[in-house]
Amino acid sequence: MHIMDIIIQLIVSFFATAGIAIIFNVPRKTLLHCGLVGVIGWIIYYILTEQGMDVVKASFFGSFVIAIVAHLYARRFKIPMIIFIVGGIIPLVPGGMAYNAMRNVVEDDYLQGLQYGLKAFLITGAIVIGLVFAEVIIQLIFRSVRSSKVKIQKVYKK
């Protein structure tokens, strides 16, 4: 893995995610941040797969981090979290696998097509689980932070 490759990936993933964000019409002031969310998710996925990790697991970690960053941005800008997530997960969507599945089915190779199709299904599931895990964890953290703040205030009042 060359350092130049990573830099190129950083740049292209920013423009790809920002382009998708423009198509979905995100608020103008958050365009840069949407691009950054995409860059973070993609670079984690890219490095993990380059290190030989399975695509399914790498997709899980990518979407997990995307959801955490999106949640922090959503709190900062006070707008729905979905705005930051959508652009970020598009690069992780298993378009290539779905394409290969379709291609093999067209070529009458149903077994191979089914194999690719199931892999695409697994990756989608991994992305979803990553998003859900991140959301649950971040809610737990914020709740415990809030309750400990309340406790500290009570102690001070006494």
Residues interacting with another protein, by CB under 8 A?
Answer: 8-9, 12-13, 15-20, 22-28, 42, 46, 78-80, 82-83, 85-87, 89-91, 93, 95-96, 98-100, 102-103, 105-107, 124, 128, 131-132
Q: How far is the CB of 146 from another protein (least distance, A)?
A: 18
Residue with the two structure tokens 């002031």:
29
Q: How far is the CB of 62 from another protein (least distance, A)?
A: 12
Closer residue to another protein, CB minimum distance, 13 or 59:
13
Which string of DSSP letters, residue by residue, matches 130-142?
Answer: HHHHHHHHHHHHH
Closer residue to another protein, CB minimum distance, 139 or 148:
139
Closer residue to another protein, CB minimum distance, 105 or 138:
105
Alpha carbon distance 57, 88 (integer Å) = 17
Q: Which residues of 71-101 are buried (b: 16+ CB within 10 A; e: fewer)?
A: bebbeeeeeebebbbbbbbbbbebeebbebb
Alpha carbon distance 25, 30 (integer Å) = 10
Q: How far is the CB of 99 from another protein (least distance, A)?
A: 5
Closer residue to another protein, CB minimum distance, 12 or 141:
12
Q: How far is the CB of 45 from another protein (least distance, A)?
A: 10
Closest C-alpha among 9, 73, 64, 21 to residue 41: 64
With vertex at residue 46, the alpha carbon angle to CA 103 and CA 99, rounded to the nearest 5 degrees, is 10
- Distance from chain centroid for Cα 150: 33
Q: How far is the CB of 104 from another protein (least distance, A)?
A: 10
Closer residue to another protein, CB minimum distance, 57 or 79:
79
